[in-house]
Amino acid sequence: MIFETLEVGPLGVNCFILGCETTHEGVVIDPGGDVPRIAEVVRRHNLKIRYIINTHGHFDHVGGNLQAIKAFGAPLLIHESDAPMLGRAAEVARMYGMQGENSPAPDSFLSENTEIVFGTQHMKVLHTPGHTQGGCCLYLEAEKKVITGDTLFADSIGRTDLPGGSHEQLLASIKSKLFTLPDEVSAYPGHGPKTTIGHEKRNNPYF
């Protein structure tokens, strides 16, 4: 499987470019900016992007949606609870002293256990509210990988002091959806380095 990570945008979001080595179908997850760099990876692997996916609706994760849609001609997916954030991304970015771009509306919604297929690859949606109400993680069971967005970080968790956040809900989401995965599953967060589920179960100070 093709699995590449790029740090993009003003807040260093991890954008993931995944692809099937057999069919060269792929997905782009959290194009927060720097879309020409994302497109270069897509071209290098000769990928046809099937979906553009947002793990949640914060401006730093959706800031490149419009450009990515223009570049790849793929439908946009996000959880319904976070869809209203897409049209306010530029306004929220300005509140933090940054420039941002509003996203088009999604073409379809993610929900618990939605299966996303690209080529021979299968990815399951885990709805993990707490950082936002529509936050989702993406589990590639065959690859023993999970993309955790801003739900779970290496030795940390997502912040819950923004609108729609809930500390108790986030802890519950992680315990019920992520900590039930096998220990050896590698977790790829929305910012910072990768970790493993087993490491976080044993060492994350929030648990």
For residue 99, pLDDT beyond 90: no
Backbone angles phi, psi at 181, to 5 degrees: -75, 160
Under the banding of pLDDT at 50, 70 and 90, the label for residue 100 is: confident
Given a contact cutoff of 8 angstroms between Cβ atoms, the answer to whether 187 and 152 are in contact is yes
pLDDT band at 20 (very low <50, low <70, confident <90, very high): very high
User: Is domain 2-203 given the CATH code 3.30.200.20 in the classification?
Assistant: no
Distance, in Å, from the CA atom of 44 to the CA atom of 4, rounded to the nearest integer, reads 11
How far is 145 from 143, CA to CA, in rounded Å? 5
8: pLDDT strictly greater than 90: yes
Distance CA 100, CA 121 (A): 32
Please tell me the predicted confidence (pLDDT) of residue 157. Answer: 98
What are the tens digits of pLDDT across the range 30-63? 999 999 999 999 999 999 999 999 999 999 999 9
CA distances, 150 to each of 98, 130, 177 (Å): 19, 10, 14
pLDDT in tens, 142-198: 999 999 999 999 999 999 999 899 999 999 999 999 999 999 999 999 999 999 999
The pTM (predicted TM-score) of the whole model is 0.97
Contact 195, 147 (CB under 8 A): no
